[in-house]
Amino acid sequence: MNFDKKLAVTITGTVCLLTTMMAPVSAAIFNFSYSGTSVLDPNDIVTVAGKLTTNPYDSATNSYEIVDITGTRNGNPIESLLSPGLFLDNENLLLAETPALDEFGFAYTVGGALYNVFYTYDYLEIGEQGYYTGYPLTSFSITPIPESSLILGILSITALVVIKKNKG
């Protein structure tokens, strides 16, 4: 084995080891988006996109606790995540299976109005703006953002394969 291959194997092994050691202690970040149409007015459409930051995965509950939120709702910035129980019994849990939310979901504020996103037979958003609004969601997506250490590990393995093919 020549020097280039030994170096690539050493770097890849070290990065993979560090990646597996780091993963369990870090928080997870998820991209999320959804859209829907009001039950009262078919011209009233909601579009939301952002990021959810969670505590590490909890195997006892098979979920992640959402601790922060950023993004926009109809172009207006999401101001804050509401503490559990503050609006429609929100729990702020992201389930590690489908559906991604339970019947209590997560709640947040935009422009002083409160919103709760949850799942009961389908994904829904309920809002309170001095009156209640309801949006059955026509699209709903939550995807994890890979950690940079995982990406570094994948790039290292890719580099090893490229070196091997070029030398072989």
Bond into 84 cis (ω within 30):
no
Please write the tens of the pLDDT for every residue from 89-136.
999 999 999 999 999 999 999 999 999 999 999 999 999 988 889 999
Token pair in block for residue 119? 């799942």
Which residues neighbour 37 within 8 Å (Cβ) at sequence distance 6 or greater? 44, 45, 46, 135, 136, 138
Please write the tens of the pLDDT for every residue from 12-27.
555 444 444 444 446 8
Q: What is the pLDDT of residue 23?
A: 44
Angle, helices 3-22 vs 148-167, to 10°: value is: 160
Distance of CA 59 to the CA centre of its chain: 17
Largest CA distance in the chain: 72
